[in-house]
Amino acid sequence: MILETTFKRASVFSVCAFAVIGLVITACNRNDNVKNESKIALKSYSQTPALIKKLEGFENLEVYSLISSEDKLPESPDYVFGGTADGSGTIKNPNGDGFIMMVNNEDNYALSKITLDRNFKPVKGAYALNSDAGQWRLCSGTMATKEEHGFGPYYLCVGESSAEAQTHKIDPLATGIQSSTATAGLGHWSGENAVPLNRNAYPGKTVIIMGEDDDTETGGQVVLYQSNTVGDLDNGSQYMLRRTDGEQNEITMKPGSVYDVEFVKIENHKTLTGAQIQALVNPLKAIKFGRVEDLDYRKGDAAKAREIYFNVTGQDYKDANADRSRTKYGRVYRLVLDAANPLKGKLECILDGDDKSGPAKLFQNPDNICVTSNYVYIQEDANTYGDETHDAYIYQYNIATKELKKVFELDHRRGDANFMATATKGNWEYGALVDLSDIIGIPNTFSLCIQPHTWKKSPAFQNPDKGTKRPNENQGSQIVLIKGLPR
């Protein structure tokens, strides 16, 4: 994704998702052993072919096309699945025997609610937010549940493209377009995701990690919200990440080195505008990252849940990065929080796309991220610098061995005029990769959102949410299922 004020294409920014027992959060699941063997037989329900290609070593993965913008759902034939599918979260439907999937339609400023039957077939679609209620570009999101976080279910839907954007708290069981959903407690940020940690990471507390996708002078921040009341998103405190030595320059952190960090409090953050919060970055000595994108935590026991990974997508060597103080091609960081105090931790760059002799030398701006107990899945969204060599990859990083492999490449289907793809490499992107294994009872099964930005059909795809803020938005998108991807 990318700010509307930058040089990139008009459709901007992008996310991941976690799944747990009976739910999904924007990243992946905490459990490796799927309980209650499923009777679901996965299949393709969409008329659109899957827009990804399996790469060497992953040929045995099964891929199914679940839904796209050109599909008509049987119980809501007038619903059109919006473009730029990004953040996503899924739960079992407590009021039936099917499932509910929430999906951000990023450039529509809208949020889709898709109802699936017991066979995981999409049967109904509606908008929980249209562009008027969504207000901002909606990027990543996280489904919070009692089983995983101690509260919920609520879908945290994060706004960006403005320093004044906020995070929406959405009831996935409600009907109709929801209103007054912005959460004052999570502050004003050009946000990417808001990820509550597992309830066992800090028992009795709610700790939420947020990323800020900002390429201006103050850079992107890693933000922490903490409340001593479980499920309280209104009355806690908010903090920015800084090195204990006060160094703000991102690029001074070298891969393989570990840095002491702490979260410094933003006093009276609920009373501040986004602009006022940005003005505190330098006084508080917060680290100026080159656009913090998606974040996720490792699944497993409480100690793993305090191990957080995040992508910094990078920005070109001009404007605020003319001094090359930030990454250009992107980095992946590991943040390990102190067991007794979430405001202290250790930070390490584990993959550096600017190191052209290193394992991440092919990086074209990592964006969304999905972390399981054993792997980190990293999804690219090229910033279209003009030197792209491939269409967007999904990488698998083995936490134990540090091995990095390419799993998928987006399939632009340039021979099919339907998708209107250009010869330019890297101008489509991914949305959330979500571990569904424990939700549907099929091991190693994920959903993946895809944003084929050139796929336009007017009026078929135009303004699907019927809001007034994005009447000319006209893109299609897709969700696919992946079976066999290791956790």
Reported confidence tier of residue 140, pLDDT bands at 50, 70, 90: very high
Yes or no: say if 419 and 452 are a contact pair by the CB < 8 Å rule. Answer: yes
pLDDT digit string, tens, across residues 18-29: 333 343 434 343
Q: Which pTM was predicted?
A: 0.93
The structural domains of the chain, ordered by start, are 17-483 (2.120.10.30)
What three-state secondary structure class fits 265? Answer: strand
Q: What is the tens place of the pLDDT at every residue in 248-269?
A: 999 999 999 999 999 999 999 9
- The β-bridge relationship of strands 23-26 and 17-20 is antiparallel
Residues 6+ apart with CB under 8 A from 204: 228, 230
> Does residue 219 sit in helix, strand or coil?
coil
Rounded Cα distance, 207 and 230, in Å: 9
- Band (pLDDT 50/70/90 cuts) for residue 37 is low
**How many of the other CB atoms lie within 10 Å of CB of 228?**
12
Spatial CA neighbour of 332 closest among 317, 316, 320, 347? 347
Confidence of residue 317 (pLDDT cuts 50, 70, 90): very high
Confidence of residue 273 (pLDDT cuts 50, 70, 90): very high
R_g of the chain, CA atoms, integer Å = 20
Model confidence at 227: pLDDT above 90: yes
In percent, how much of the chain has pLDDT > 90?
91
User: Residues near 452 by Cβ (< 8 Å), separated by ≥ 6?
Assistant: 51, 410, 412, 419, 421, 428, 475, 476, 477, 478
**Contact between residue 138 and residue 157 where contact means Cβ atoms under 8 Å apart:** yes
State the CB neighbour count (10 A cutoff) for residue 57.
11
Listed in sequence order, the DSSP H helices in 194-261 are none
Three-point CA angle 448, 354, 240, nearest 5°: 70
Burial of 343 from C-beta contacts in 10 A (0-12 / 13-18 / 19+)? middle
- Over residues 156-209, the pLDDT tens digits come to 999 999 999 999 999 999 999 999 999 999 999 999 999 999 999 999 999 999
Question: What is the SS3 assignment for 373?
Answer: coil
Q: What is the pLDDT of residues 321-358, one digit of tens each?
A: 999 999 999 999 999 999 999 999 999 999 999 999 99
Q: Would you call 320 exposed, middle or buried from its count of C-beta atoms within 10 A (0-12, 13-18, 19+)?
A: middle
pLDDT surpasses 80 at 153? yes
Give the closest residue to 23 by CA, choosing from 94, 101, 91: 91
Q: Encoding tokens for residue 260?
A: 């002491």
Q: What is the pLDDT averaged over residues 359-387?
A: 97
